[in-house]
Structure 1
């Protein structure tokens, strides 16, 4: 089963959201933008800014946990967006 690690960004909130999914990434974004409870519910301007594909859900989840463990917005931005 293929899975995707992804990072979303909300300009209004000036925040990142880090996750993984086995759904098509566009469908997952649609769900983030729909009416639901959760971290992404408050803002409706989330955009996909980064993705990585993995062979399994477990590997994508490991990557999500790795990046979330950094707990540094600057480190995440530097690693993924400033080459």
Structure 2
């Protein structure tokens, strides 16, 4: 299973969209383990949204949709 996820940094009002095969480990990486990268600058991250897919291809396609203009409108709508 693959999970497409959306993180939100309340402190900085930033959104991060990604996909992974292990959501728990990925969240730990975003919030604690990583020492470099974009998400390190905007900690802490809260899980805002997630969807599960059986194939990597489906998850990647949905990640791209969420990163589009319409996808970002959908995500921002979750914050209201």
TM-score range (shorter-chain normalised) is 0.7 to 0.9
Residue 55 (structure 1) aligned with residue 54 (structure 2): yes
How many correspondences in the alignment?
78
The two structures have a TM-score, normalised by structure 1, of: 0.81
Query: Is residue 70–residue 76 contact of structure 1 (8 Å, CA) maintained in 2?
Result: no
Query: Is residue 14–residue 42 contact of structure 2 (8 Å, CA) maintained in 1?
Result: no
Q: Counterpart of 2:26?
A: 28
Matches of 1:28 and 1:35, distance apart in 2: 10
Matches of 2:29 and 2:57, distance apart in 1: 21
Alignment of 1:2-81 (within 5 A): 2-23=1-22, 25-33=23-31, 34-70=33-69, 73-78=72-77, 81=78
Superposed CA deviations along residues 40-78 of structure 1, whole A, max 9, x for unmatched, are 011221011110000011111110011112277444322
Structure 1: which 5+ residue stretches go unaligned?
Answer: none
The two structures have a TM-score, normalised by structure 2, of: 0.84
* Structure 1 residues 66 and 74: alpha-carbon distance in aligned structure 2, compared to 1, 3 A threshold: closer
